Chain A
Amino acid sequence: MLLEALADNQVKFIVVGAYAAIMQGSTLRTDDLDLCYERTSDNYKKIVRALTPFKPRLRDIPEHLKAPFDAQSLAQGTNFTLTTDLGNLDLLAELSGVGGYKEIAADAKAIKIGSVVCQVASLDTIIRSKEAADRPKDRLTLPELKALKLIQQREREGRDR
């Protein structure tokens, strides 16, 4: 539903992180949906319009310190870890080792989820970002992601034969 709301409002976003890998066959599990968004004032307004019905608020921040979720806040920050009525959502301006929306879009794939066609980060991009982030939880995912890439290649070859 979040993806539909974002698409309905013509938000420019790319699914990144574990969900991007899952859409492509990974068995990774995650608590949140990670999206990279285009940093333009027009897109900030669209993001706010799309997400407001789901009551987005900053995650793990004391209630009295919470800033409003509006276009101005988006313009002033970069990465936002949110919770919504539909679950956790991370809005990211950039991915480590890859760059921002434009760089990720360069080899993103269009994948249909339900009625929505989403831009989804390529496995190469996900692998590069996990290698660059290099946190223990990122390192744990790399063997699977690299194997998935090879299995996908073989599967495609089988399909094309």
Chain B
Amino acid sequence: MTRETEEALRQLIDNPPAGSAIAEAKKFGVDLYSIVENLKLTPTERFRRAAAETDFVRRIRENIKKGDS
């Protein structure tokens, strides 16, 4: 993503057209800047990051279960 595109996206998020999906998501509390950051990554990087988080949560749950038994 070029710096110009990133800047245009940030401006769009800062000043979304009224009634647009971006305006609605902002009202809902979605962190749209995180989407822009994600779009700078490759699909593989996005997938691996999500998989690592999923795995981390799974390991914590397993440890809690072990601790309970």
Which A residues are within 8 Å of any B CB, using their own CB?
Answer: 19, 22-27, 29-32, 87-88, 111-114, 143-144, 146-152, 154-155, 158-159
Complex Cα distance A32/B13, Å?
30
Top-8 shortest CB links A-B: A158-B5, A147-B25, A146-B21, A143-B28, A143-B25, A25-B38, A27-B34, A144-B30
B30 touches A30 (CB 8 A): no
Q: Complex formed: what's the CA distance from A151 to B24 in Å? A: 13
Roughly how many angstroms separate A123 CA and B9 CA in the complex, as a whole number? 19
Chain B interface, >50% SS class: helix
Complex: A149 Cα to B25 Cα, angstroms: 12
Which of B38, B39, B50 touches A30 (beta carbons < 8 Å)?
A: B50
- Which single residue of chain A is at the shortest CB-CB distance from B30? A144
- Specify which of B2, B43, B57 is in contact with A24 (CB 8 Å cutoff): B43
Contact of A148 with B57 at beta-carbon distance under 8 Å, contacts A113-B47, A154-B9, A158-B8 already known: no
Contact A152-B39, Cβ < 8 Å, known A19-B47, A22-B47, A146-B21: yes
CA distance A35 to B51 in the complex (A): 15
B68 within 8 A of A: no
A143-B24, A147-B21, A151-B36 are known contacts. Are A27 and B43 too (CB-CB below 8 A)?
no
B53 within 8 A of A: yes
Chain B 46-59 interface mask (CB, 8 Å, partner A; 1/0): 11101101110110
Inside 8 A of B4's CB, which chain A residues have their CB?
Answer: 158
A87 to B57, CA, bound (A): 11
A155 touches B47 (CB 8 A): no
Given A87-B51, A155-B9, A155-B39, 12 more A-B residue pairs with CB atoms under 8 Å apart are: A19-B50, A23-B46, A27-B31, A29-B50, A30-B54, A31-B58, A114-B48, A143-B30, A144-B30, A147-B25, A150-B20, A150-B22
